[in-house]
Amino acid sequence: MPLPLDRCVDNERSPPSGVRHMHWIALIVLLLPAISASGQDASWTHWGGDPGGMRYAELDQITPENVDQLEELWTWRHGDLSDQTPPFRTTSAFELTPLLVEGTLYGCTPFNRVFALDPLTGKELWIFDPEIDKHAGWSNQLVCRGVASWIDPVAEVGARCRHRILTNTVDARLFAIDAGTGTPCTDFGEGGSVDLNPGVGDQRWKGEYQLTSAPTLAGDLVVVGSAIGDNARIEAPSGVIRAFDVRTGEMAWAWDLAPPDEPGGKRDPDSGWMLSTPNVWAPMSYDPERDLLFVPTGNPTPDYANAHRQGLDYYGSSTVALHARTGEVAWSFQTVHHDVWDLDVASQPVLFPLRRGDQMIPAVVQSTKSSHLFILDRETGEPLIPVEERPVPQGGEDDFVLSPTQPFPVRPPPLMRLSITPEDVWGLTFWDRGYCREQVERLRFDGAFTPPTTQGTIMIPGNAGGTNWGGVAVDPERQLLVANVMDLPWVVTLFPRAQFEDARAEQPDVEHGRQEGTPWGMRREFFLSNFFLPCNPPPWGTLHAVDLETGDLRWSVPIGDLPLVGTIGLPNMGGPLVTKSGLVFLAATFDSTFRAFDIETGEVLWEASLPAGGQAIPMSYRIDGRQVVVIAAGGFGRIPIPGNLGDSLVAYALPADSGVAE
């Protein structure tokens, strides 16, 4: 068995420091799951590249010197589009990061159809359709961000269902599919699937409870969370996390996120799981050596009222480490206390080896919507860079339960601006600048974590982040973290819930939530001028590189261009990929452009126009001597721009005659 990359060096027995340093660099190069920088094939076997989600491709065929030669290798189109026009009630989003396992590319469409492609040509090999109801009112879009792959170590090569593709659906089913044929593994659950709906509580409508992120493999267990319809009501479905035997589909354990002291609250009468707990809709990570599962949690619904929670947010907006065999809590770290801002932890915890002098410490970094990065000891949850509890604004509505402080890491600084004043506002003319200035003066904003109010509160950060599900990427050799962030404030206004219908009729084009069971309805909208442009100044999107050894910012650059204006920094949704050769690939910006950056400087080295927005996370592999980079180009369904949606999976490679392929 190979040595773990992140095991601490025994200082008493280790060689001199220079030799130790080279030893760890060599281990990182040789053993990372992204495989090899040589001519051998290199796979992408997990949603985040490796079980810990570093999104690091140890490939160097495409380099800063030749990346400008990249050209389209193939495009595959799936056809699964929903734009909320009848009979569709929910928009679709193609936010996939596919897998490359044993020479085949696997992924899923927004309608949860699972597919297999030839990775060199994009030719469709098979497709499996779970036949979801495409016309239901799904709470969180029609989306499938990825699948999982499991290979039975004791089965004979070629045996049916030796290699299984695991996928979960928006209608809360978990499937095991034979990777060779695309047919269900009938020994899993009932005919190849497990129904995840029983036991989570009554659902008010079809689509209140769904699954959108890829399932997580932990040995021979497959673990799933859920996405819950926010802001509708208290006593929403349970946020239970469940683990199932990957061979049989039998449930191994369930963790329902109820606090240790068992506060008052309603439980499902059949399962006993607590309702309205935090849920886990974002991807999880797994440490095979320690058998720890790392879980990013949401906050209990409704988002903008919390008097009813009675301690149910104990595990809310946190990173929690679970013992993967049992589901028991090893430790938890809360990133937001008593969250009433919808700052749930939306991104995958990233496991990486942190270099500290002559040691490599097993670490986990959690990016957050608040644009903070928390770097923690993977075994204990203790901060490896100090975290301070700092006073935050108080004085919300009378029934709110607010924490007097919130956690702030000492380093790095927040990755977005956390303030705005009347003098800060932006606009194209003095008319829209004046409008924005009036709004800042009218609305409440006392700094980050200003509570929602009936006056109306500017939310900085907004509920979309900061960083969202796109998360961050880590280069373990350079000890650099790369993060794209969005800087778009929102405005949240509370009103007596009895006035809900009048409030919605007054502003029908913005989001409203009933928050049943609380005194408050809510309205949520972008902080825009009367010209429908952001009131805060650009950049609205930035790419950062953080030195993990020191916690300092290495560089920051705006990302995204406007015609006739140039690079201004645009809103973005998705995440980065880093490669051994020193490239950062990113397609998250809303200008439908795929870019490669120099990881040392942030300089743009290559860009290509996509058929739709690349609101996804790229991945890379090497097959038959060629390195390929793949991005899903599907747009972002929640932006009402005509023609915004797409259905393309696009692959890029160097020209076949470039001379670099082996």
SS3 for 133-158 is: CCCCCCCCCEECCCCEEEECCCCCCC
Virtual CA dihedral for 422, 424, 427, 428, nearest 10 degrees? 130
Confidence (pLDDT) at 662: 55
* Residue 518 in tokens: 């609380």
Q: Which of 342, 358, 561, 591 is catalytic?
A: 342
Has residue 449 got a pLDDT over 60? Answer: yes
Interatomic CA distance for residues 143 and 108, integer angstroms: 9
Confidence of residue 201 (pLDDT cuts 50, 70, 90): very high
- For 122, the 3-state DSSP assignment is coil
- For 436, the 3-state DSSP assignment is helix
Has residue 657 got a pLDDT over 90? Answer: no
Has residue 4 got a pLDDT over 60? Answer: no
Q: What is the mean pLDDT of residues 78-96?
A: 89
Check residues 54 and 92 and name the one with the higher pLDDT: 54
% of the chain beyond a pLDDT of 90: 82
Interatomic CA distance for residues 174 and 176, integer angstroms: 7
Confidence (pLDDT) at 29: 36
Residue 291 designated active-site: no
Interatomic CA distance for residues 596 and 604, integer angstroms: 6
Find how far residue 608's CA is from the centre of its chain: 24
Confidence of residue 86 (pLDDT cuts 50, 70, 90): confident
Q: Which residues of 26-58 are buried (b: 16+ CB within 10 A; e: fewer)?
A: ebbeeebbbbbbeeebbbbbbbbbbbbbbbbbb
- For 100, the 3-state DSSP assignment is strand
CA-based torsion, 126, 132, 137, 141: positive or negative: negative
Check residues 2 and 98 and name the one with the higher pLDDT: 98
Task: Please state, in angstroms and as integers, the Cα–Cα distance from residue 127 to each residue in 181, 377, 398, 457, 516, following that order.
Answer: 9, 41, 54, 47, 41
Has residue 504 got a pLDDT over 60? Answer: yes
Name residue 62's amino acid: I
CA-based torsion, 361, 381, 301, 391: positive or negative: negative
Interatomic CA distance for residues 342 and 453, integer angstroms: 14
Point out which residues pair with 405 in neighbouring strands. Answer: 391
**CATH code for residues 32-653:** 2.140.10.10
Q: What is the mean pLDDT of residues 489-514?
A: 94
* Residue 120 in tokens: 């060199």
Q: What are phi and psi of 362, to 5 degrees?
A: -70, 115
Tell me how crowded residue 583 is: count the other CB atoms within 10 A of its CB: 24
Nearest Cα to 147, choosing from 179, 171, 180, 121? 179
Q: What are phi and psi of 100, to 5 degrees?
A: -120, 110
Q: Is 374 exposed, middle or buried (0-12, 13-18, 19+ CB in 10 A)?
A: buried
Specify the range with the lowest mean pLDDT, choosing from 474-478, 515-519, 628-632: 515-519
Nearest Cα to 451, choosing from 578, 303, 344, 628? 303
Has residue 39 got a pLDDT over 70? Answer: no
Contact 400, 515 (CB under 8 A): no
Confidence of residue 135 (pLDDT cuts 50, 70, 90): confident
Q: What is the mean pLDDT of residues 201-228?
A: 95
CA-based torsion, 20, 26, 29, 33: positive or negative: negative
For residue 650, the number of C-alpha atoms closer than 13 Å in the C-beta half-sphere is 25
Looking only at the bridges linking them, the beta strands covering 520-526 and 511-513 are antiparallel
For residue 209, the number of C-alpha atoms closer than 13 Å in the C-beta half-sphere is 26
- What 8-state DSSP symbol labels residue 176? E
Interatomic CA distance for residues 208 and 386, integer angstroms: 39
Contact 538, 569 (CB under 8 A): yes
Q: What is the mean pLDDT of residues 229-235?
A: 91
Confidence of residue 9 (pLDDT cuts 50, 70, 90): very low
- What 8-state DSSP symbol labels residue 464? T
Confidence (pLDDT) at 439: 96
Name residue 657's amino acid: D
Interatomic CA distance for residues 249 and 32, integer angstroms: 30
Q: What is the largest CA-CA distance in the chain?
A: 73
Confidence (pLDDT) at 220: 96
% of the chain beyond a pLDDT of 70: 92
Interatomic CA distance for residues 146 and 128, integer angstroms: 14
